[in-house]
Amino acid sequence: MFDIISIGDPTIDTFLFIHDIEIKIINGQKKAIINWGDKLPVDEFHRTVAGNAANNAVGSSRLGLKAALYCVVAHDMGGREIVHKMEKEGVSSIYISKNDKHPTNASSVIGYKGERTILVYHEHRKYKLPKFAPSKWVYLTSMGQGFETIYKDLAKYVDKNKAKLGFNPGTFQLRKGVKVNMPILKRTELLSLNVEEAQSWVGKCGRDPEELCKKLIKLGPKSVVLTDGRKGAYSFSSEGFYYLPEFPGPRISATGAGDAFTTGYIAALFYGQPHSEALRWGPMNAGSVVLQVGPQTGLLTKREMDAQLKKMKNFKPIAITSEKIKKQVMGIVARKND
């Protein structure tokens, strides 16, 4: 029996922190300007195990959940690093599949002033869902092309074991659209997306977070958590609609912040906390991660989370129960920088 099984592609991340770069807004989007063909000095270099599912598995284990990871890696250095890291963190590796035909995924992360751009390399995978032991939660996240081949078996597993499903779709899942993901969406306990991802599935809605959440709920999930970068996050469920600003403090690297947020949120639900309290756990976990290089170094343990919750007892969500309160929250959000 597991508390959570994480499903998704791990990767080996190489972090390159540079200063010789200029950020400009072009057609409403941030663009990085560098001297093409030049040799750029790198201020810091780091290599680490990463990937949404791996980040969730490690974070869940640190928060006291009995965790396992399903993924496909190669018999190469990267694959061995991933297995070793999971076992070191107390994550079961019994569902990690090894394939000699394709190397382990890799990414290069360019970091600048607390933000990052990721250059992602995904190998083609032939996914086949193992025969999982019963688990209270399943966390499905970023997978490569061919991800939908596991959906039928995963749906059967969730139904049979009455497992709660957390869904944080990755790039390929988002691009396939709602119809392909419907077998998962209608079984999802918690759907986690950022604002732009939500818009790609349900339309612009003028960036109105409540309308986005309502439209997402109509797709099947019981609850939605919607993140908006440094502007904060929202929780929408039968318990109500809540907003919480970004966790206060500095930021060294944003990589893994979203995974840490959802990991903390689901852990709170696992421990029987309401969504309003889960919305505190998420930012606190993310706020710790962005203080470190890499997506896993700063993930909180259960003891650290409890201490942080006690220390930051005034860091509480705002219940949006009227149009007046909603306008006040939108005013707060509008004043925050991306």
For the chain, the average pLDDT equals: 92
Please indicate, yes or no, if residue 166 is contained in any of the structural domains: yes
Domain membership of residue 119 as a residue range: 2-18+42-334
Domain assignment present for 261: yes
Residue 31: Cβ within 10 Å count = 10
Look at residue 205 in the predicted model and tell me its pLDDT: 66
Q: In the chain, how many domains are there?
A: 1
Residue 126 pLDDT level (bands cut at 50, 70, 90): confident
Does residue 29 belong to any structural domain of this protein?
no
Assess if residue 194 is contained within a domain: yes
25 within domain boundaries: no
Q: Is 24 part of a structural domain of the chain? A: no
Please state which of the ranges 32-41, 89-98, 182-191, 239-248 shows the lowest mean pLDDT.
32-41
| Percentage, residues of the chain above pLDDT 70 | 99
C-alpha angle with apex 4: 79 to 234, nearest 5 degrees? 105
Q: What is the pLDDT of residues 20-32, one digit of tens each?
A: 899 898 987 889 9
pLDDT of 207 over the 80 cut: no
Q: For the residues 134-156, what does the mean pLDDT come to?
A: 96
Q: Any idea what the CATH number is for the domain that residue 150 is in? A: 3.40.1190.20
Residue 32 within any structural domain of the chain = no
Share of the chain above pLDDT 90, in %: 70
Which CA distances in Å does 134 have to 71, 131, 160, 196? 18, 9, 9, 34
The reported pLDDT for the residue numbered 338 is 60
Q: 33 in a domain, yes or no? A: no
